[in-house]
Structure 1
Amino acid sequence: MTATPVPPGAAERGPVTRLLARAGLPIPLALGYLGLLIFMIGDGIESGFIAPFIADNGAGSDIRASYVVTLYGVAVMLASWLSGALSELWGPRRVMSLGLVIWLAGHAAFLGAAAAESYPMMLLFYGLRGFGYPMFAFAFLVWITAVAPAKRLGAAVGWFYFAFTGGLPTLGALVASFTNPLMGHYGTLWLSLGVIALGGLVCLLGVRERTGYSRLAPPEVKPVQSLMSSMSIAWRNPRVGVGMVVRVINTAPQFGMLVLFPTIFSEEIGFGESRWLLLVSVIYGTNIFFNLIFGVISDRLGWRNTIFWFGALGCSATILLLYFVPVAAGADYYWLALLVGAAYGATLAGFVPISALLPSLAPENKGGAMALLNFGAGAAAFVGPAIVSLFLGPLGAAGVVTVFAVLYVAAAVMTWFLKIPEETRAAMESGADLQEIAEETVAPQTPAR
């Protein structure tokens, strides 16, 4: 009988480590995932009360508080793009370090401004802090795509979103529900500073994998060239541009839903605020675990197939159910709302492989592809509420939800054209990572003059 080959280092691994490796978690980055989870818990602590806090501590009204949050969103969108572009130039770890420093400094300054009830300073420093979490989190996602074997990249990305959404907003909001009665909003926000610092240190000091310590772009690529390439890839490689649009559609209805649904579910249907918030928790709680499930499934079924069937078409059906079933059934059938909410959260996770698919479409410029992907993630925060603003008046709530469902169908059509090149697919099946694929299949770039 022939003995089964043992992978290098497997003998030293414990049973838990071997189990995680089989589930697609890149073991050299394991502490990075843990640090990311803690970091995003710290970032998510404020998610349920930050706008009222700003209004009560210098803004003076909900409208002026919304300006602060809007500026923060602009910073998040810009930083989401920069995280990929700068990771190519500096290496993911350096970008993560910068994001951590920006978050800590910006947050401390924001709390000082809140204590002084200075609205201009809150506007400035909370907006500045918006550069922090995307540069930390999405630079780590670039690190993952550079290290994980391409044929297991779907699972590796699934673990990323498990940690990301597990912290923001799920566990972060849960922590705040315990600390707010004890420490108040202000004390809880200082607590988040410590949680962020802990998560950042676990990630940056715990991960020793060397790929993320140095630049990913070839030495001859200049800074301006790299930054421009991270945007121009949208038309130089149209499939990457299409993938960015799919990423926007992925979460735009989610952000729009959080604007549209609270009043409808709490007041018009009659669930009340507490049961609406529980429904949101069920949606995101389900999504967390299905991020892992679809990450693993996608490596077997195919990334494009998973996005097409479970993500795009699945969300098209479940977002309609999420609105029309509770409206038709009424407040007495709350359990039905929980079921369809869980279904939407599960299918939303079907888009997880988009973060594996896009860099595989451009292995020679995966940082640029990731920058564009992250830009789409940030843009979704604006597109979703904008759709609500444009269509709620003429079409009503049912019409807005139908628009969201049609957008998901459009995403399915676009996804069908995101086919990985055959040479890249062959290299992936051999077990190579995207860095090796780029070196083997792409000619060296001409140095910038």
Structure 2
Amino acid sequence: MLTQTLAAIERFGIPKKLIAGFLTVAVFMTGDGFELTFLTKYMVDHGFSAAQGSLLITVYGLFAAVAGWTAGVLAEMFGARRIMLIGACWWIGVHLVFLELALPSGVYPFILAVYALRGFGYPLFIYSFMVLLAQTVRPERLASATGVFWTCFSLGLGVFGAYIPSFLIPAVGEYRTFWFALPFSVAGLLLCFLMVPRTRDSRAAKLTHEERVRELAEGVTIAFHNPGIAVCGIIRMINSLLLYGFPVIMPLYLCGRQYGGDSWFPVQDWMRIWGSVFIVMLFFNVFWGWFMDRFGWVWPMRWFGCALLAVCALSFYYVPRWFGANAPLMVLAAVLIGVGTSAFASIPAIMNSLVPDKRGAALSVYNLSAGLATFVGPGIATLLLSTAGIAGICWTYAALYVAGAALTYTLRPKQPGLAKRHMTGAGAKAANVGHGVGDITIETAAKVTALAQNTATAISDDTL
């Protein structure tokens, strides 16, 4: 049974040696996602302002963006597994300082600084594994592999990371719940050490220190030299705005009476509603990767990604205002967010096709953009919360998704899987035509032969 499963995974385009790496990402991101859905409310409940709680996650995202930028090139130069281990150790160490010293101190600048520093850890871990995928998986299957990667990411960050705390908080309280992140992050570290294969780019290993610095800088400068890479980076940043923006504002809006809210749901219900986003992403990350490799990388991202999420950005605000505490409708809105957020699985494949000889630099832009989403999403909330309110934030998100849809019209990548499919179809048609011509030729020859025989017989009869 196990052999058949592994064979099926390989047919999907994923080498067996990477399977343990996907599991590692899911386990580690469970620990990283523990506080995402309730940290802002925790800060407000302990005497800090909503803007301070939002700023905490915003600055965390900024540091994550910087780490994401460096992860792609560092993984190519020093090996993905090594950078993953460094990122995990950093995250665990700083998280201990955050829980033991920063939070109990009640000193906001200290809390902010320590939590921001923790943001360096997880991007080094997960985006280094993304480089490993690009080094190992065939280009025509990279979107599918990326879909599996984001499924594992979603399983950790959004499903286990949201649902486990929703049951722990009523039992042990919010502060103790923070501690339960550690067993998952430590388990992710051990799995990485034991099961993720060692890799090293042979070309990168020969680079001098000056050349390595130049490679690192190229992770940003390539976006200025190649407009397609820049566009992909912007779309990738827009992709996850709701994923990181809504956990900041929606607990305040749905679970309290601030900013136009009406205490529609208790906080644990909100966490479970939000967990629906990631449950759906488990399936649709894989589906969209498979679908895009076969039917196109760009148009599903435009309509099922950007356009759908523009509608979803508004639905989370208006559904409770129009229908009250209607949990099924909120779950439906969350499900659609999951479907839309998953429909960007082809971006790494597009970037890889645009600059196949600068894979590390292109993925650094991708990782930087993914990290910037964790900064820009909460950052918009921090800037607009006191002026435009929740409604203004949601409309801003919707407008950015519309802009992302417009940007997709500038992307025209070569798609190996789609070209192969067209060639196969063309070959089949040619074969059918060839068979048809052959059939016609044989049939015509038979008719000519029969006519000749009849003519010969007739002449012989006349002669006789």
Judge which range, 129-138 or 385-394, deviates more.
Answer: 385-394
Q: 64, 69, 75: which is aligned to 1:87?
A: 75
| CA RMSD, 1 decimal | 3.3
Contact 1:149/1:428 (<8 A) preserved:
no
Distance 1:429 1:171, change over 3 A: farther
The 2-side partners of 1:188 and 1:216 are apart by 45
- Give the TM-score normalised by the residue count of structure 2: 0.78
The 1-side partners of 2:319 and 2:250 are apart by 13
Q: CA deviation at 1:26?
A: 3.3
The aligned counterpart of 2:193 is 204
Judge which range, 224-233 or 19-28, deviates more.
Answer: 19-28
Q: CA deviation at 1:216?
A: 6.2
Distance 1:186 1:349, change over 3 A: same
Distance 1:245 1:428, change over 3 A: farther
Distance 1:296 1:426, change over 3 A: closer
Q: 294, 301, 307: which is aligned to 1:307?
A: 301
Q: CA deviation at 1:160?
A: 0.7
Q: 362, 374, 380: which is aligned to 2:373?
A: 380
Q: CA deviation at 1:408?
A: 1.6
Per-residue CA distance 1:391-436 (angstroms, 9 max, x = gap) = 6677665554343333222212212222224899879999xxxxxx
Q: Which runs of 5+ in 2 are unaligned?
A: 424-464
Output aligned runs, 1:265-284, within 5 Å.
265-266=254-255, 267=257, 268=261, 271-274=264-267, 275-284=269-278
Distance 1:182 1:385, change over 3 A: closer
Q: CA deviation at 1:235?
A: 1.1
Matched, 1:73 2:67: no
The aligned counterpart of 2:92 is 104
Matched, 1:293 2:287: yes
The 2-side partners of 1:240 and 1:72 are apart by 25
Distance 1:118 1:399, change over 3 A: closer
Q: CA deviation at 1:318?
A: 3.5
The aligned counterpart of 1:256 is 245
The 2-side partners of 1:425 and 1:115 are apart by 52
The aligned counterpart of 1:352 is 345
Residue type of the alignment partner of 2:309: C
The 2-side partners of 1:47 and 1:186 are apart by 13
Q: CA deviation at 1:379?
A: 1.5
The aligned counterpart of 1:138 is 127
Matched, 1:61 2:54: no
- Give the TM-score normalised by the residue count of structure 1: 0.81
Distance 1:29 1:423, change over 3 A: closer
Contact 2:238/2:400 (<8 A) preserved:
yes
Residue type of the alignment partner of 2:24: G
Distance 1:189 1:304, change over 3 A: same
The aligned counterpart of 1:319 is 313
1:415 alignment partner, SS class: helix
The aligned counterpart of 1:176 is 165
Q: CA deviation at 1:89?
A: 1.8
Q: CA deviation at 1:97?
A: 1.5
Distance 1:228 1:386, change over 3 A: same
The 1-side partners of 2:11 and 2:348 are apart by 20
1:351 alignment partner, SS class: coil
Per-residue CA distance 1:268-311 (angstroms, 9 max, x = gap) = 46622344333212223222321121121111112222212211
Q: CA deviation at 1:355?
A: 2.7
Contact 1:94/1:213 (<8 A) preserved:
no
Q: Which of 1 and 2 has greater Rg?
A: 2
Matched, 1:231 2:220: yes
Contact 2:30/2:155 (<8 A) preserved:
yes
The 2-side partners of 1:245 and 1:306 are apart by 17
Judge which range, 228-237 or 281-290, deviates more.
Answer: 281-290
Judge which range, 233-242 or 101-110, deviates more.
Answer: 101-110
The aligned counterpart of 2:442 is none
Matched, 1:166 2:155: yes
Q: 233, 243, 257: which is aligned to 1:244?
A: 233
Matched, 1:219 2:206: yes
Q: Which runs of 5+ in 1 are unaligned?
A: 1-11, 431-449
Distance 1:377 1:175, change over 3 A: same
Output aligned runs, 1:369-408, within 5 Å.
369-388=362-381, 397-408=390-401
The 1-side partners of 2:48 and 2:389 are apart by 27
1:303 alignment partner, SS class: coil
The 1-side partners of 2:407 and 2:143 are apart by 19
Q: CA deviation at 1:344?
A: 2.2
Judge which range, 175-184 or 243-252, deviates more.
Answer: 175-184
Per-residue CA distance 1:351-379 (angstroms, 9 max, x = gap) = 12223222222111111111111111122
Q: 38, 44, 47: which is aligned to 2:36?
A: 47
The aligned counterpart of 1:27 is 16
Q: Share of identical aligned residues, percent?
A: 33
Contact 1:306/1:353 (<8 A) preserved:
no
Q: CA deviation at 1:214?
A: 4.2
